[in-house]
Amino acid sequence: MTDLLVDRFGRTHRDLRISLTDKCNLRCTYCMPAEGVPWIAKQNLLTTDEIERVGRVFADLGVVEARLTGGEPLLRPDAVEVVRRLAAIETERGRLRVSMTTNALGLAPVMDDLVDAGLERLNISIDTLDADRFHRLTRRNRLDDVLAGIAAARRSGLRPLKLNAVAMRGVNDDEFVDLLRFARDHDAQLRFIEQMPLDAGHTWSRAEMVGGEEILDRLSAAFTLEPIGERGSDPAELFVVDGGPTTVGVIASVSAPFCGSCDRVRITADGQLRNCLFARDESDLLGLLRGGGSDGDLTAMIRRCIGEKREGHGIDGPNFLQPDRPMSAIGG
C-alpha cells in the first residue's frame, strides 16, 4: 500500500462515495423539479470495470469503505454486480466495506442478492410516514414500496440499519417523534439531516431550515436523549434514546459543521472526483480512465484533488456559492 490520502489539514480519507447514476424514481421537492433534470448520457457513466478499477486504486491509498449512492443506485441494472466487485477488493483492514444509500423503492426484490454480493450496510431515506404527504413531497405514490424495502432490510440482518430523514419546516417537522418511534420499532437508527443548499432550483433558505438544536428540542419533549460522546469522523451526533438500545443521530452539516474530521471523497456517476460535497471544482477521472491513464496517473490526480481540499465548506461565509450540480448529480 502507498502513503495514505492525507490533506494539508491532516485529515486522512478512508471513505469513498461512488454515485452509480444520477437518475431517480422520485422527484423530491427539495432535490429536483417535477420534470426532473437533464440526465447524464449513458455513455458518460462509469462502467462496472471502471468502478472496480477506481475502487482498487483507492483501496491502495487507504480507503476502507465505499458507499454507493445516486440518484437512486438501484436504478442501475448492474448494481448487485458493482457491490460484488467492490466487496472483493482487499484493503489494509480486510475486504472493502460496501454500503448503499437508497430510497428503497426497488430494494425488496434484490435484498437477498445484495447481501449475497457482500453488502454490509444500508441507509434508507424516509422523510414522512404519511402516504398523502409522501406523495406531495416526492410526487410519487410509492410509500408502500419504501416500507416494504425497510421490512426487507430489517429481515436481512444487516446492521446498523439507518433511516435518513431530511428535516423540513412545514413539511415533516410535526413527524419527528413518530419517525423516531417507527425507527425504534424497526430496529433501526434514525438520523435527521439538516436541509442543505444542494437543490436543483437553488431555492434553499437558511431562515427556513430546521436546525439540529430544534430537532433535539422536539425529540426531547417525548424521549430522554443522552449524548454518546466522541463521534470520530461520523457525520451524525448520536444520542441514546430512553436508556437504549435505540440511538438517534442528527447530521447538522449547516449549523454545526464537522468539516474538521471529514474523511470522505466523492465520485460522480460520470467519473468526476470531488473532495467536498459542496466543491465547485472537479477532477476528470473518467477522461483519464478512457484516455489511457495508468493507475499511477489516477493516483496522482486523486492526490492533487485531496491536496486542494478546503478547510471547510464555508456555507456561513460571504463568498459561499452553491454547487452548480444538485445532490442527485453529485451523489450523497
pLDDT digits (tens, 9 = 90+) for 252-299: 878 877 788 999 999 999 999 999 887 878 999 999 999 999 999 999
* 97: β partners: 65
What distance in Å separates the CA atoms of residue 225 and residue 276, rounded to the nearest whole number?
31
Residue 319 has pLDDT above 80, yes or no: no
pTM, two decimal places: 0.92
- pLDDT of the residue at 37: 82
Predicted local confidence at residue 200, as pLDDT: 53
Q: Cell numbers for 220, please give them.
A: 426531547
Alpha helix stretches (DSSP H) within 186-292 = 212-220, 285-290
Is the model's pLDDT at 144 over the cut of 90? yes
Query: Looking at residues 108-133, what average pLDDT do you find?
Result: 98
The yes-or-no verdict on residue 8 having pLDDT over 60 is yes
Would residue 67 be called left, alpha or beta, if left means φ above 0 and alpha means ψ between -120 and 50 degrees? beta
Whole-angstrom distance, CA of residue 175 vs CA of residue 160? 22
Q: What own/partner pairs with CB < 8 Å and gap ≥ 24 does 237-243 have?
A: 237/212, 238/189, 241/180, 241/184
pLDDT class of 2 with cuts at 50, 70, 90 = low
DSSP 129: S
Residues 180, 248 contacting (CB under 8 angstroms): yes
The C-alpha cell that represents 127 in the structure block: 422523510
Output phi, psi for 273, to 5 deg.
-90, 130
Higher pLDDT, 104 or 196: 104
Residue 328, pLDDT above cutoff 90: no
CB 323 within 8 A of CB 278: yes
Mean pLDDT of the chain: 91
